[in-house]
Structure 1
Amino acid sequence: MGTPRMRPRSFRRALTLLGLIVVLVLPACGRIGPPPEPVTIVFACERGDVAFYEPLAQRFNQENPRITVQVVGMDSRRLERDLDDAGVDVLTAAFSLRNLINSGALLNLDPWISQDDSFAPDDFYPGLLKLYTYEGKTWAIPSGVDPLVMYYNRDLLERYGAPQPAVNWTWEDMLITALTVRDVEAGVYGYAPTFAMLDAMLFAYQHGGHLVDDWNNPVRTTFDDPLVIEALEWYGRLFLDEGVAPTPEEAMRAFGGRELAGVNGVVQGKVALWTGFYSWRGGTSFWPRKWEFRWGMVPLPRERESATLMSVEALAIASKTQHPQACWQWLAYLSRQMPGRLAPARRSVAESGEFERLVGAEIAAAVRASLEHALIIPPDAPEILSRVGQPWQHAIEQIVSGEATAEEALRAAQQQANP
């Protein structure tokens, strides 16, 4: 975490006064009214999202004629590094906001939330709004979420007559589908991981295990939890006993590439089931090319419990803005819209007929089910979570390649993560 940049004392006094003024000009209750004079605010987002936000800004301006929103694409690293000098009023952020908060670069949103009856904070899925609460104050609101889901190659499933996954499917259902599709001669696999360490982690949580003692305030890892070991024994059997998933060496030989061998297998149409974030649908983001097959989406299969991961993007207001009222209206407006590449953070939007018409009934159902059982990835994960990665990944590699049993690999990883 960077060292906060100190401000001149006079500016701190002015900033404090501005905060008092913001509170005083808010109406006592109801909706936030329009600004007294026409204003223009600058909204910064990732460059790839500009085409999505510009039509929203135009519609917002039609509904709020006194507010013009100028959408600009800006590198997130610049926003994180020097927001004060970027000339931005409102921003999207997929990164930690802690440095910006500590430096006084963001506006406390609580006065606006408490006075805007139309905002409905309880409409957000559990835990999302709290994610951006530091020292009892709310500094951002969720703009969209990205849950990890299970994708499937519809063409392969139909070709081999395999059962199609459904919202409430189980580990056993997954294995049956994967076994039905597995074709040794054609080099077709029932399942392949794109990020094995994430898949294995979620299977552990679905079995009732935990990788850390407390997800929100972790102190130590718990790789040697008996339920984690049991889950990873099952996961290893997919590769070594059932043969429905390729070991790392098999994947490299069959599909090419190293860490991305599983990705290559999916693109080549040789994998029936794989996990991925919602935003990856159709082969976007880091995929080498779009998927040239019919595909479907369901939640991850469940066992004792349902569990998945979810990343979150947020909206925040710069403390230096001259137009906090207009910024709040734009921010609140965005929170009620359909996200572009992400899934809705508000329950009312995710459960709406409009969302279902936009993405289709199957995808909408997968998103809704996933958001009910998601572990939220903290934007500024504590040190213990950052330490999980390397020893956990090494253990998974040992398990799926047969170099060590699940118990051996996980006990060694536990010692490495907790020296």
Structure 2
Amino acid sequence: MKRSGRLLSALLLVIVLMFTAILPACSGKNNEEAQSGSTPAPGTEGMSTPGASEAPSEEKHDPVTLKLITWNNTYQELYDKFHAKYPWITVEADLVSGADIDNTIVERIAALESAGTPADLAWLVDFTPFLKGGLLEDLKPYMDRDESLKNVKLPEGFFESMEIGGKRYAIPFVDVPMWVLVNKDLLDKYGLEMPPNDWTYDDFRRMAKAATDPVAGEYGLTNNSLFAGHFTTAMAVANGSAPNLAYMNEDLTQSILNSPAVLADIKWMQELMTKDGSLPGYKKSAELGGSVDKFINGKTLFDIGGDWVLEPLSNEAKFQWDVLPFPRGKVKQSTYHIYGPIALLAGSKYKDAAYKWISFQFEMEAQKWKIDHGANASVISDELIAYIDQSPLWQGKNTSAVKLTKDMGSIAPGPTIPAFSEYMWWQPWVSETILDGKDPSSVIPLVEAWNKKTLQLRDEVSK
């Protein structure tokens, strides 16, 4: 019996020593994965796969907090969904604001790095300020070994749209379409019917004029600068006046905002104020105390907007409303889309964890969340198309229009165009022309100066 007891004690001692040797090794591996700021070379043996489709490991992970620099504070619910899948990773929004948003983000990146707490992810508008400082990580190696993306169907050229020189510095994490918003109560009041989804710009103009009654303080169009900044540029594409949004040429190297065809489209929109009176303009709006500046006030038949206005309308509007795609032009029908670029920052200490957030954007859970909040699903899937009819946001609405806008769109350019953020002056300029009667020809020297600058910067970036 004593001998058996000694053997048992020895055996237990061996087992304890084995676990004592194994546990530190596992712990060290976890710490390295959670804290390392380096990216293993593709094909490295033993590397962790960054794809967000991985099931959370049963192994212990040190907690990671990712700093995402953004100007939007409406994504907390999606951050929480991501955290539920990866309990050791928390996404923390670092909010910034300002007119020169990209340079503000660059300054924020520098400040956080100086403090020893570098940011991990950032939303972008224009790549130019980030490329000069080498601030962006190339996402292509991560995505090439991301098994979760290999079975995801996306629009042709979706990821490639944000490549420069073979490097993928960002990806579109959201597709925000825009619609014409319709006040159905005013349709009824003025004896108008909800038009079909293939309506035309002439239909749009006729209906706006028919629903204008200055005595009642009601107008066909909301006095929204987005009619100038977004609607008119989509009309130029639909009419064949410009091949791309933002009045850009075919290869996105020059603005053609000063071309006769584009200026004719802008003049057409200006006449909605100067001739028809259906667009109030700045002066009339001031006289009315701003009542026609917001669609939710119920004083206007049409407005345009995207995901940022849909939930407030659902919760607060005291009238029936619906959506339509932008009208059909002389050549085609095109609705304005905004791709939101997100980048992984080169200074991140947690690159694998940060990439998991990027990959998570293309999983069904995240895609459905975006539909519920007014965005398109980027992923091409029958399940996601069917989900539009189930989404609480779209109950009782023109869901056929919502489905059409996924493929009936022009994508707003920008990130890969040098000095594009400086070109954003075109939006206030068009607004002043349409809403304040500014002379359209005043744009010519502005376009010429910017065209020269963007070509110079393009040469510098390519060197």
What TM-score does the superposition give when structure 1 sets the normalisation length?
Answer: 0.76
Q: Which residue of 2 aligns with 1:301?
A: 327
Write out aligned runs for 1:19-418 (5 A): 19-20=40-41, 23-26=44-47, 38-45=61-68, 46=70, 48-49=73-74, 51-61=76-86, 68-76=88-96, 77=105, 79-82=108-111, 84=113, 85=115, 87=117, 90-120=120-150, 123-195=153-225, 196-198=227-229, 199-210=231-242, 212=247, 214=249, 216-225=251-260, 227-256=261-290, 262-264=292-294, 266-283=295-312, 290-304=316-330, 305-321=332-348, 323-336=350-363, 337=366, 338-339=369-370, 341=373, 343-344=375-376, 346-348=378-380, 351-358=384-391, 359-360=393-394, 362=397, 364-372=399-407, 373-379=409-415, 381-383=417-419, 386-387=422-423, 389=425, 393-394=428-429, 397-398=432-433, 409-410=440-441, 412-418=442-448
Q: Cα 1:39–1:367, aligned 2, differ >3 Å: closer, same or farther?
A: farther
Q: % of aligned pairs identical? A: 16
Task: Say if 1:83 and 1:318, in contact at 8 Å, map to a contact too.
Answer: no
1-side partners of 2:37 and 2:93: how far apart?
30
2:288 aligned counterpart, secondary structure: helix
Q: Cα 1:230–1:317, aligned 2, differ >3 Å: closer, same or farther?
A: closer
Q: Cα 1:243–1:346, aligned 2, differ >3 Å: closer, same or farther?
A: same
2:276 aligned counterpart, secondary structure: coil
> How far apart are residue 345 of structure 1 and its match?
5.0
Q: Cα 1:52–1:377, aligned 2, differ >3 Å: closer, same or farther?
A: farther
> How far apart are residue 194 of structure 1 and its match?
0.8
> How far apart are residue 22 of structure 1 and its match?
7.5
Deviations 1:309-365 (A, max 9, x none): 333323433445555444433431233213264514513369432343223264654
> How far apart are residue 180 of structure 1 and its match?
3.2
Deviations 1:147-172 (A, max 9, x none): 23211112222232312144222112
Given residue 317 of structure 1, which amino acid in structure 2 is its aligned partner?
A: L
2-side partners of 1:399 and 1:315: how far apart?
33
Given residue 202 of structure 1, which amino acid in structure 2 is its aligned partner?
A: A
> How far apart are residue 295 of structure 1 and its match?
2.0
Given residue 163 of structure 1, which amino acid in structure 2 is its aligned partner?
A: E
Given residue 208 of structure 2, which amino acid in structure 1 is its aligned partner?
A: A
> How far apart are residue 215 of structure 1 and its match?
5.6
Q: Cα 1:69–1:388, aligned 2, differ >3 Å: closer, same or farther?
A: closer
Cα-Cα RMSD: 3.8
Q: Cα 1:117–1:363, aligned 2, differ >3 Å: closer, same or farther?
A: farther
1-side partners of 2:379 and 2:336: how far apart?
17
Given residue 208 of structure 1, which amino acid in structure 2 is its aligned partner?
A: G
Task: Say if 1:43 and 1:91, in contact at 8 Å, map to a contact too.
Answer: yes
Q: Cα 1:209–1:324, aligned 2, differ >3 Å: closer, same or farther?
A: same
Q: Cα 1:124–1:184, aligned 2, differ >3 Å: closer, same or farther?
A: same
> How far apart are residue 193 of structure 1 and its match?
4.0
Deviations 1:346-386 (A, max 9, x none): 13369432343223264654444334322323136533773
1:43 aligned counterpart, secondary structure: strand
Task: Say if 2:66 and 2:92, in contact at 8 Å, map to a contact too.
Answer: yes
Task: Say if 1:50 and 1:71, in contact at 8 Å, map to a contact too.
Answer: no
What TM-score does the superposition give when structure 2 sets the normalisation length?
Answer: 0.69
1-side partners of 2:346 and 2:385: how far apart?
34
Q: Cα 1:17–1:274, aligned 2, differ >3 Å: closer, same or farther?
A: closer
Deviations 1:107-154 (A, max 9, x none): 322122122232148733455423432321223322212223211112
> How far apart are residue 245 of structure 1 and its match?
2.0
Q: How many residues of Structure 1 are paired with residues of Structure 2 in the alignment?
A: 384
Give the structure with higher Rg (CA). 2
1-side partners of 2:421 and 2:240: how far apart?
19
1:279 aligned counterpart, secondary structure: helix
Q: Cα 1:104–1:418, aligned 2, differ >3 Å: closer, same or farther?
A: closer
1-side partners of 2:248 and 2:380: how far apart?
33
1:185 aligned counterpart, secondary structure: helix
